[in-house]
Amino acid sequence: MITSKQRATLRSLANRLDTVMQIGKGGITESVITQAQQAISNKEMIKVRVLESALLTTREACEVLAEAIDAEPVQCIGSRFVLYKKNEKNPVIDLGK
C-alpha cells in the first residue's frame, strides 16, 4: 500500500511516461496481462491507454489489470491510467519511507 505522498510523487513522475500498451475491444486477455507483467517488472510504473472501442471503462480496466498483476493503481484520468509495482530486487523509483 502506498501513501498519499508517495502517490503524489508517482503521479508527477507519470507525467513524463509514454503509453506502454493499449487495451482495445478484446479487453484484458492473458496476453495483455503477460505484457503488463513484463513491462512493470522492468520499469516499475506503466501507463496504459484504453481505446474507445473497449468494452470496459478506464477505471474498470485499471482495477482489473492492477489486481491481475498485483500492482497499485496510481492515477486514472480520461482514457489513460498508471500502475505501479515496486521491484524488490532492483528498485528503479525511490519513494522513501
CATH number at residue 71: 3.30.110.60
Per the CB < 8 A criterion, the answer to whether 69 and 40 are in contact is: yes
Does residue 47 lie in a domain region? yes
Please state, in angstroms and rounded to a whole number, the distance separating the CA atoms of residues 48 and 2: 20
Q: Which domain holds residue 41?
A: 4-84
Q: Give 34-60 pLDDT, tens digit per residue.
A: 999 999 998 999 999 999 999 999 999
Using alpha carbons, list the distances in angstroms from residue 18 to 6, 30, 55, 79, 97. Answer: 20, 22, 23, 14, 27
Does residue 30 lie in a domain region? yes
Does residue 95 lie in a domain region? no
SS3 76: strand
pTM of the model: 0.92
Does residue 96 lie in a domain region? no
Report the domain count for the chain.
Answer: 1
Q: How many helices (H) and strands (E) does the chain have?
A: 3, 4
Does residue 91 lie in a domain region? no
Q: How confident is the model at residue 91 (pLDDT cuts 50, 70, 90)?
A: confident
